[in-house]
Amino acid sequence: MTVRTRKPAAERKKEIVDTAILLAAECGPDRLTTESLAKEIGISQPAIFRHFPAKSDIWEAVGDRICTLMSESGQLIEATGPTDRLRKIVAAQLAFIESTPAVPAILFSRELHSENEKLRAFFAGLMAQRHQRLVKLFENGIKSGEFNKSMNPDDAAYVVLALIQGLAMRWSLNNRNFDLVEAGSNMLDVQLSGFSSR
C-alpha cells in the first residue's frame, strides 16, 4: 500500500499549475478538465478546488507561471549589437515555446479568447511588453546605423512578433515536426535583409 504524503499548499499549487501546462500541450486547453488534472496528479477533484476555487483561477495561475518562465528564458541575453540581440531574443522565445508547447495552444484557445477576460488581458499585456522591447531595439539599431533609417520601429517590431507567432502556430499544427529555433533563424534572415541599412 502506498502512503501519500501531504504537500505544503504552495508546492501543491505549483504542481497543479505545472500539470495543467503539460496537459494543455497534450490534449489542448479547451479539453482540460479539473477531473483529468486531479487524476494526473493523483489527488481528488475537491483537492484541486481547495487550492483553486474556480477553473479560471487555475488559468490565471498558468498565465503567471508562463510569464515567469518567459522572463527567465530571456534574462541572460548578452549581445554585441541590435542585430545580434534581435537574433538572440527570437531564438530564446522560440526555444521557450519548444520547451513549453502548451503556449501556442493556450494563446489560441477558447479559454483565452472568449471565456477568461482576465487571462486574455494578461497575455495582451505581455505581448505589448514584448512589442515595446522590440521597438526600443529597432530605434537603437536605426540610431546606430545598423537598421534602415526609413524603417518604422513600431511596424518592424510587429513583423518580428508575427514571425514568432505564425511560426509557433505552424509548428503546433504540424505536430511539432521541425526545429522551431532553426526555422525561426532562417526566417529572421529574410526579415533582416529588409531591415538592414546596407
Q: What local confidence, expressed as pLDDT, does residue 3 receive?
A: 39
pLDDT at 5: 59
Q: Which residues of 14-46 are buried (b: 16+ CB within 10 A; e: fewer)?
A: ebbbebbbbbbbeebbeebebebbbebbebeee
Q: What is the pLDDT of residues 94-150, one digit of tens each?
A: 999 998 888 888 877 776 667 778 778 888 888 898 999 999 999 999 999 999 999
d(CA 135, CA 127): 12
- List the grid coordinates of 149: 533609417
Please, are residues 157 and 131 in contact by the beta-carbon 8 Å criterion?
yes
Select from 16, 21, 4, 187 the least CA-distant residue to 91: 187
Q: What is the pLDDT of residues 176-192, one digit of tens each?
A: 999 999 999 999 999 99
Q: Euclidean distance between the first and final Cα of the chain, in Å?
A: 71
Average pLDDT of the residues of the chain: 87
